[in-house]
Amino acid sequence: MYKKKPFFIVFEGVEGCGKSYQSKKLYNKLKKKKIDTILTREPGGTKSSELIRNLILKDYFAKDSKEKFDKYTDTLLYLAARNEHIKNKIKPALLKKKVVICDRFIDSTIAYQVYGKKVELNFIKNIHKRILHGIKPNIVFVLKVSKQTSRKRLIKRKTKNRYDNFAQSFYNKAQNSFIRIAKNKKNYFILDSSNNDNFLEQKIYDVCQKYLNIK
Euclidean distance between CA atoms 164 and 177, whole angstroms: 18
The predicted-structure confidence for 17-58, as pLDDT tens digits, reads as follows: 889 999 999 999 999 999 999 999 999 999 999 999 988 877
Domains of the chain and CATH, by start:
7-147+160-212 (3.40.50.300)
- pTM confidence score: 0.90
- Cβ count near 47 (within 10 Å): 9
Determine how β-strand 37-41 pairs with β-strand 7-12: unpaired
How many residues are listed for the chain in this entry? Answer: 215
CA 88 distance to own-chain centroid: 18
The predicted-structure confidence for 102-149, as pLDDT tens digits, reads as follows: 999 999 999 999 998 999 999 999 999 999 999 999 999 999 998 776
Determine how β-strand 7-12 pairs with β-strand 139-144: parallel
